[in-house]
Amino acid sequence: MSHLVFISPLTISGFSPSIAGTGFNFLVTGENLIDTTEVYFLNQFEDKFFAQFNLDVENNVTGRIPALNPREGFYKVGVGNELGKFELCCIQITGLILPPVTGLAPSTTYSLRWNSNTGVLWEQ
């Protein structure tokens, strides 16, 4: 006896965050995501960068942004299954990867300054 398996086309209705860097968590919302077999980020040259992902209890896709080049700016987000793929524009990739913040005094004002050679610097 054979079993029929129905697979529905995927659609993305939302993606967050809209600006992030490598290693940040992402969330894809949409329809029929339970059938997702791949999640990827597509640069301006149509190069695919695949991400590991999980399906949560609400049928959303979660994961971490793979190593992407911030100099390429914006990436499309795509999901796919056996029926095809769906892509949504765009997430802006930044070079900003903040380390865990520890030892800051709660009553002191701090600011971030970007240094292209060394990364983010804390200033008091």
Ordered per-residue pLDDT tens for the chain, 124 residues: 677 777 788 889 999 999 998 889 999 999 989 889 999 999 999 999 999 999 987 789 999 999 999 989 899 999 999 889 999 999 999 876 545 556 666 666 666 565 555 555 555 5
The strand ranges marked E within the chain are 11-16, 19-20, 25-31, 38-42, 48-51, 53-55, 61-64, 74-81, 84-93, 111-115, 119-123
Pairs from 14-17 (Cβ < 8 Å, separation ≥ 24)? 15/77, 15/88, 15/91, 17/91
Residue 40, strand partner residues: 50, 78
Asked if 33 contacts 104 with a C-beta cutoff of 8 angstroms, the reply is no
**Model pLDDT, residue 116:** 54
Q: By the 8 A CB rule, do 15 and 25 touch?
A: no
The full set of domains in the chain, from first to last, is 11-97+105-123 (2.60.40.10)
Ramachandran angles phi, psi of 40, nearest 5°: -145, 165
* pLDDT of amino acid 57: 77
Q: What is the pLDDT at residue 6?
A: 77
